[in-house]
Structure 1
């Protein structure tokens, strides 16, 4: 199971304001190229995002299902990646003073990625999810458009400095 951790200069609620807006998904999930639809129930358990991954002309339509929604602590998503298979992605958020610690864990459930040795899957996935957390931090720390409140309202400011990504 691939794990990444990042300290973000915002509250857990700021992170979940981004996560609860399904239309922001391609802004923080690496590989997602466009949104096609967000179910009205999003982000309730069982709700679905319809999106695509890849670059034109090779684009695959897929979906992500919410399995656990427990704001501002935890969300578990199940991306269905067409021929790549299904993954389970857990995002856990814990407050730490005026910051928060965000951990993302990903594991393959079905498909050819299950056949990869753990060390290979983890290396590729940790590299991708480091960027995913980087993008999520920009949105959560900066008060992403389409969210109410946000870190910018709290006086937090994004910087170009990198926080430790992996522990």
Structure 2
């Protein structure tokens, strides 16, 4: 899996509030262009958010499903974007008081994205998730999700 870390100048509680609000997903996840619906019990295991990926007019409608969660600490997802495929994503938060270390690990698990050699796809995923963490940090610092 491609893994990136970032130290946030926000407490884990504030970061989790952004993650736990599925309607904010497209604001911090690079590639998600809009949210169409969020299950009422998001982010409980089995819940989904329905998103679109891409830039208009080349937009793909699909969904992301929670496969495991430890509220305030970690979220495991299967993100879909067919016909490109599916990816497993694990987000973890390490509470450091007024700061928080956030880690995202991701890799393709199904579809054409999995056929790309790992040496090629890992740096691409890492670059995307580096920007994803920057966006998440800004949203948490700005009070999104409160």
Q: What is aligned with 1:38?
A: 38
Conserved 8 A contact 1:13-1:71: no
Q: What is aligned with 1:27?
A: 27
- 2:67 matched to 1:51? no
Point out where structure 2 has 5 or more consecutive residues left out of the alignment.
none
For these two proteins, the number of residue pairs brought into alignment is 146
- 2:65 matched to 1:65? yes
* Cα distance per residue 1:87-107 (max 9 Å; x no partner): 000001102242110000001
Conserved 8 A contact 1:4-1:103: yes
Larger Rg: 1 or 2?
1
Rounded Cα–Cα distance in structure 2 between residues aligned with 1:2 and 1:14 = 25
Q: What is aligned with 2:78?
A: 78
Measure how far apart 1:131 and its partner are.
Answer: 0.5
Conserved 8 A contact 2:12-2:96: no
Conserved 8 A contact 1:23-1:38: yes
Q: What is aligned with 2:104?
A: 104
Point out where structure 1 has 5 or more consecutive residues left out of the alignment.
149-167
Rounded Cα–Cα distance in structure 2 between residues aligned with 1:113 and 1:103 = 22
Conserved 8 A contact 1:52-1:61: yes
* Cα distance per residue 1:54-94 (max 9 Å; x no partner): 11111100100011111211100111111111100000110
Please give the root-mean-square deviation of Cα atoms over the aligned residues, in Å. Answer: 0.9
TM-score for both structures, normalised by structure 2: 0.96
Rounded Cα–Cα distance in structure 1 between residues aligned with 2:18 and 2:97 = 20
- 4+ residue segments displaced more than 6 Å: none
Q: What is aligned with 1:126?
A: 126
The structure in which a higher percent of residues are strand is 2
Q: What is aligned with 2:141?
A: 141
Measure how far apart 1:137 and its partner are.
Answer: 0.3
TM-score for both structures, normalised by structure 1: 0.85
